[in-house]
Amino acid sequence: MKSTTRLLLFVISLITLSSFQEKHEQEIQSSLIENNLQYQNKNKSKKEFLDAADSIIQSSLRLGLKLNNTELIHNLKLYKEIAWNNDELKEYRIHYYINLLNTNSNVNNRGASIYYAEKVKNESQNLGSNRLLIDQIEKTVIFSYQKNYNDVVEIYNNNKSLLEKTKEDLTQNRKPTVHPTDVLKLLSYSATAFKNINDTLKTIEVIELGKEIGNLFLKDENLAERTKYLSEFYIYEMEYNLGLVQKDANKSQNALYNMENLYNKYPSSSKGILDINLINYKIAFFLEEKEIDSIEFYISKFELVTDARKEKIKNLYNYKSKLYEIKGDYEKAYEFNNQSLKITDEINSQIVKEMDDLLYSFTEAEEAKLFAEIAEEEKNSSRIKYTLIITALILIIGISSILLYRREKKIKLKTQTLDMEVKFHINQLKEIKNETIKSEQKRIGKELHDSLSARIASLNHQLELIKLEEGPIDLKSDITPIQNQIKDIYNTVRDKSHLFLDSEFNFGNENFANSIREITQTALPEKYYDLKIEVDDENTRFIPNQVKVEIYKIIQEAITNIIKHSKAKKVEILLFQELNELKLIVIDNGYSNSLATLFSKNKLGHGLKNIKERAESLFGEFSMKSTPNNGTELLVTIPVKWNNPFFQS
């Protein structure tokens, strides 16, 4: 019964992860299309466009998503055109092939990975870049998956002189000719290969060389954050293996601890490679130590990691096989081991097929080239032999035929190209139309929610306060039906909000602060609330109207939340400029258990989501401090002047 439940949970987790992956894969491709449109509409410079595309693809890799290679190449068509037509952006030619390399490597398209790795190396040689080991790295990864450790060792030996020269260059403060992460990745895989062929001395030698080179690289203060993170990761990976070789469990465990700390040290870079590798190493460590509870815990975490590669399922079955072997359930161990071997065979078959396809394509190209050379030689020989025989008329007819054929071919090719471009632009227009409709619907709903529904809620709240005052009973009973009607109107407005548009605000230089005071005092009468409203009139005079509108609506939403979710008696609203930041603070002393619970679980309601989205639309940030029974503090920070487009004029 217990094993059946676990199997069911595993299947459910796979279905959930599959749905998660499909959704985010579509979002990534949509983001690339949107980035293309923003550049075409001149909303981004060439460099901003290229950097944004790189960032989008890096996000997909960190999430372990499986992107369609054909669709990705199509969406990177504009990227390639810009990179190859602008010499000042020529380094992005390498980025283009690295994006395709990493995407294919992420989903086990090993043949394509080697092809693009060769492209990266060729471009690096042309541009004098340092990605000269990239093709060797990709082959090392493939050989490691196939457990062809002797081939990995051969690659290491072939590049040993380059690795030692890299150490010498770093020691002499000379710029090395290879990329830090390429060097350390090659050394880490090589150390693992030596470990698996039981060459302990070589394993230790390679690891010590890797640690020494890695620490020399990390002395460079200009090293990019992700490069620093990967360098430290590979150093700790080698220290982990060193502990295994030396049978020093404390050393391996300490390496895992240091590896885990990379989450805090490099929060923006540590997703992806760290998630799955760290869990892999922990499972392997506890299998070695035979700690069943820890093994089961990390296997359950491993099942939830997003990874599009078949290796994940293969490793999962392998871990479960070893777990049941430790438990003494050899039947289960045998079953999972067979499943692991089956997937291993599938992976190897796929790699062999891709390699054969590449080899076939290469051989076919070489053969075509050879036949072309032979044909050219025969053609030249024939010309020499029959020059005196061929008449001028035949020559003219031949040339005319060739010209007509080429012209027909060009026309046909141009027609096909135009047809493809028309279809592409039609699809773009459809996409723009759909996005415009969605955007407008969302905007209308948000406007009605922020304005009309907020005022209705305020009116209902005031009637509730009147009922609490001393007065005729008949009057109070008459108020209840009115409140019910107001609630019906409020619900109807929220349900049908997409049908209406809110009117635009237009604040002058003088009445913005007064408008804030007016809406606050109307919704929260001073008769019942202790209000403190402070607006920096001098600095807010120069805020653009569009920014004022968003701030006004944020305050509306904050007041609505106080009325709906809090029993506050004291409210403070502060709006002021501090250095280069505009700050809005809303504080209440109400009962905030519900908000505290939602915020701690990162489950914001519609109103708080609106505040967050409006703040981010102004390139600002939104945060909330909410503790049970101690009130709530909302903080919106908006950059001004040089670092916010709304203030650049």
Q: Please give the structure tokens belonging to residue 16.
A: 């959930």
The amino acid sitting at 642 is W
Series of mean pLDDT values for 10-residue runs along the chain (649 residues): 48 48 73 88 90 86 73 88 92 90 77 84 87 86 84 92 90 88 90 90 91 89 85 89 88 88 78 72 84 85 69 80 86 85 72 53 43 55 67 75 78 56 43 54 63 70 72 66 74 58 51 84 82 85 83 88 80 90 90 58 72 90 81 90 58
- CA dist 453 and 512 (Å) reads 21
Give the pLDDT confidence score for residue 15 in this predicted structure: 47
577 φ/ψ sector (left φ>0, alpha ψ -120 to 50, else beta): beta
Q: By three-state DSSP, how is residue 646 classified?
A: helix
pTM for the model stands at 0.49
Asked whether the beta carbons of 213 and 184 are under 8 A apart, the reply is yes
Give the pLDDT confidence score for residue 150 in this predicted structure: 92
**Given the structure tokens 């519609």, which residue do they identify?**
606
Residue-range domain boundaries for the chain: 506-647
- CA dist 221 and 308 (Å) reads 35
- CA dist 200 and 222 (Å) reads 36
Give the pLDDT confidence score for residue 634 in this predicted structure: 92
CATH of domain 506-647: 3.30.565.10
- CA dist 163 and 214 (Å) reads 11
Asked whether the beta carbons of 566 and 632 are under 8 A apart, the reply is yes
Q: Please give the structure tokens belonging to residue 409.
A: 């071919």
Give the pLDDT confidence score for residue 630 in this predicted structure: 75
Q: What is the pLDDT of residues 195-254, one digit of tens each?
A: 899 999 999 999 999 999 889 888 888 888 888 888 888 898 889 888 888 888 899 889
- CA dist 15 and 465 (Å) reads 51
Q: Report the relative pairing of strands 570-578 and 581-588 from DSSP bridges.
A: antiparallel
Asked whether the beta carbons of 575 and 536 are under 8 A apart, the reply is yes
Q: What is the pLDDT of residues 294-345, one digit of tens each?
A: 888 888 887 877 665 667 787 788 888 888 888 888 888 888 888 878 877 7
Q: By three-state DSSP, how is residue 178 classified?
A: coil
Asked whether the beta carbons of 131 and 120 are under 8 A apart, the reply is yes
Q: Please give the structure tokens belonging to residue 489.
A: 């109107």
- CA dist 236 and 445 (Å) reads 51
Give the pLDDT confidence score for residue 88 in this predicted structure: 92
- CA dist 589 and 631 (Å) reads 4
Give the pLDDT confidence score for residue 96 in this predicted structure: 92
